[in-house]
Amino acid sequence: MRFRPCIDIHNGKVKQIVGSSLIDEGDRAKENFASTKGADFYARMYRELGLSGGHIILLNPVESPYYDITRKQALLALSATPGLLQIGGGINPDNAADFLDAGASHVIVTSYVFKNGKISMTNLKKMVKTVGKERLVLDLSCKAACDDDKKTNKYVVVTDRWQKETSVELNADTLDELSEYCDEFLVHAADVEGKQNGIEENVAKILGTWAKKPITYAGGVHDLKDIELLKRIGSGKVDVTVGSALDIFGGELKFKSVLDACKA
């Protein structure tokens, strides 16, 4: 299991938020942590620790008045870690090359390849043509699709900063189909993202059972027991991102302890 570092940027600041609270209107979100340090500070820290393959996420839409300062922070982080970090948030064929030229190893895409609640193969193939599958990460972040009894093992992909549900289910068939067009997958369990109440075990099982490509899970990690649980459920094949729980983001979980647990 690899540890994949993260830098989430909202309203021009490095933050950790509750994922399900994010609302584009008014650029609002429930914050767990807002840093006084720039994104490049965290990027340099990751570089000095020998970490790579993590992601920078822009949490403001392009239309937001905060987008430009959020993008500026992201570019500072990329310039500090050329070739080491991925970037996502509003990525499309028109701007992808700019982020790659600025130092991103990969671009992470969700909303552009999902239209009207479905996969747009036209847009997906255009994205691949623009950047190449070897530099494309597909974000299949998901939420539980509850039935009348509010119990389900079914999860659907969500787009637009986790605000819109699609009809696309996160399962082996979807992963098989989309794996032909990308280098990796990133999956936030949006229902538990930022809540520090434990991982979404059913999502971890889906990912660990499939695991034919590099795949990173994010959401809900609270302590080292969650890391061990994810490692077991994911058969050691699923990488992990930890945000709000880490001491570097105001939490109680020691960063070094997490790195050691992932290596063990």
Residue 83 maps to which CATH number?
Answer: 3.20.20.70
The whole-number pLDDT of residue 196 equals 81
As a whole number of angstroms, the distance between CA 47 and CA 43 comes to: 6
Instruction: Tell whether 113 is covered by a domain.
Output: yes
Q: What is the dihedral of CA 26, 30, 35, 39, to 10 degrees?
A: -60
The whole-number pLDDT of residue 135 equals 98
- Domain of residue 61 covers 6-263
Instruction: Tell whether 142 is covered by a domain.
Output: yes
Determine phi and psi for 159, rounding to 5 degrees.
-125, -175
Q: What is the dihedral of CA 165, 168, 171, 175, to 10 degrees?
A: -110
Q: How many domains does the chain have?
A: 1
Instruction: Tell whether 12 is covered by a domain.
Output: yes
Enumerate the H helices of the chain as residue ranges: 39-48, 67-80, 96-101, 121-131, 172-179, 201-210, 224-233, 255-263
As a whole number of angstroms, the distance between CA 181 and CA 126 comes to: 11
Instruction: Tell whether 1 is covered by a domain.
Output: no
Greatest alpha-carbon span in the chain: 50
Distance between alpha carbon 220 and the CA centroid of its chain, in Å?
13
Determine phi and psi for 112, rounding to 5 degrees.
-65, -30
The whole-number pLDDT of residue 264 equals 82
As a whole number of angstroms, the distance between CA 63 and CA 79 comes to: 24
Instruction: Tell whether 211 is covered by a domain.
Output: yes
The whole-number pLDDT of residue 30 equals 79
As a whole number of angstroms, the distance between CA 169 and CA 16 comes to: 27
Instruction: Tell whether 18 is covered by a domain.
Output: yes
pLDDT in tens, the chain (264 residues): 999 999 999 999 999 887 566 676 777 777 788 999 999 999 999 999 999 999 999 999 999 999 999 999 999 999 999 999 999 999 999 999 999 999 999 999 999 999 889 999 999 999 999 999 999 999 999 999 865 555 567 999 999 877 889 999 999 999 999 999 999 999 999 888 878 889 999 999 999 999 999 999 999 999 999 999 999 999 999 999 999 999 999 999 999 999 999 998
The whole-number pLDDT of residue 146 equals 66
Instruction: Tell whether 116 is covered by a domain.
Output: yes
The whole-number pLDDT of residue 150 equals 53
Residues 6+ apart with CB under 8 A from 53: 2, 4, 84, 85, 86, 105, 214, 216, 239
